[in-house]
């Protein structure tokens, strides 16, 4: 079975540009999570969905960040406009259900904003 | 106060050594606990769950102390391949946080030959 798929794997963009990160969760998983990881702050949860519905977006840093999950097999995280401080590795993860079960992470998108 | 606190290390140990990592969590109502492993420039992966009675998986032993809100991971007979960052993870199952996991900053381990 394929794991969590993320694209692109690497993204380099200039400040002010729009960035869209994509994620395909494992088939049959009902929960999807977006994380950001930096050296300074570690792994931070940005938002998570259960059955395609956003449950907790308290980790979204500001209005420049938005996430959607139009169906069970696809989610996007968009940053508009991007800033250098958004440079990080963005991970998508999925799990079979909400609540205390193993989360499977995708390989991540390494974002650099210059 | 952070939900999960870990000693960041780094821990540098020779092959064959025994090494222990500790972690504390702030929410006494937390129900599920895990250790994840993250290799350099890779995604985190589940290493093992942590049960109240403690559990062992080969060279790895995890312990939970609910009274002290403390989790530990013991690695015996360290291998070079154990070099990684170990993340302590807690799931507080209440209210709107149902489903989310709280990750510690991780403890870096390097095993040298």
Measured distance CA(A25)–CA(B36) in Å, rounded: 19
* Chain A residues contacting B via beta carbons under 8 Å: 31, 33, 42-43, 45, 48, 50, 55-56, 91, 95, 98-103, 105-108
* Burial state string for B65-89 with b = 16 or more CB within 10 A and e = fewer than 16: eeeebebbbebeebeeebbbbbbbb
Distance from CA of B96 to the nearest CA of A (A): 7
- B96/A107 Cβ within 8 A: no
Residues of chain B with confidence (pLDDT) below 70: 93-99
pLDDT tens by residue, A6-15: 999 999 999 9
- B46/A102 Cβ within 8 A: yes
More confident residue, A75 or A39: A75
**Assigned token pair, B19:** 């090494």
**Assigned token pair, A29:** 């998983």
pLDDT tens by residue, A66-102: 999 999 999 999 999 999 999 999 999 999 876 657 8
Give, for B87, the enclosing helix (H) or strand (E): strand B84-91
What's the whole-number mean pLDDT along residues A24-49?
93
């Amino acid at each position: 079975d394929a794991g969590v798929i993320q694209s692109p794997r690497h993204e380099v963009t200039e400040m002010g540009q729009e960035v869209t990160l994509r994620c395909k969760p494992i088939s049959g998983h009902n929960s999807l999570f977006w994380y950001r990881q930096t050296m300074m702050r570690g792994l931070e949860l940005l938002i998570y969905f259960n059955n395609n519905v956003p449950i907790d977006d308290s980790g979204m840093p500001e209005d420049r960040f938005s996430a959607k999950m139009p169906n069970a097999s696809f989610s996007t995280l968009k940053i508009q406009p991007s800033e250098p401080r958004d440079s990080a590795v963005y991970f998508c993860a999925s799990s079979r259900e909400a609540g205390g079960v193993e989360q499977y992470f995708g390989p991540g998108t390494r974002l650099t904003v210059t | 106060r952070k939900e999960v606190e870990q000693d960041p290390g780094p821990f540098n140990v020779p092959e064959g050594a025994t090494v222990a990592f500790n972690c504390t969590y702030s929410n006494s109502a937390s129900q599920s606990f895990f250790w994840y492993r993250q290799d350099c420039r890779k995604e985190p992966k589940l290493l093992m769950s942590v049960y109240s009675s403690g559990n062992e998986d080969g060279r790895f032993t995890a312990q939970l102390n609910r009274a002290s809100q403390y989790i530990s991971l013991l690695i015996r007979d360290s291998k070079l391949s154990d070099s990684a960052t170990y993340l302590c993870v807690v799931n507080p199952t209440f209210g709107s946080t149902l489903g989310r996991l709280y990750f510690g900053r991780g403890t870096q381990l390097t095993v040298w030959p």
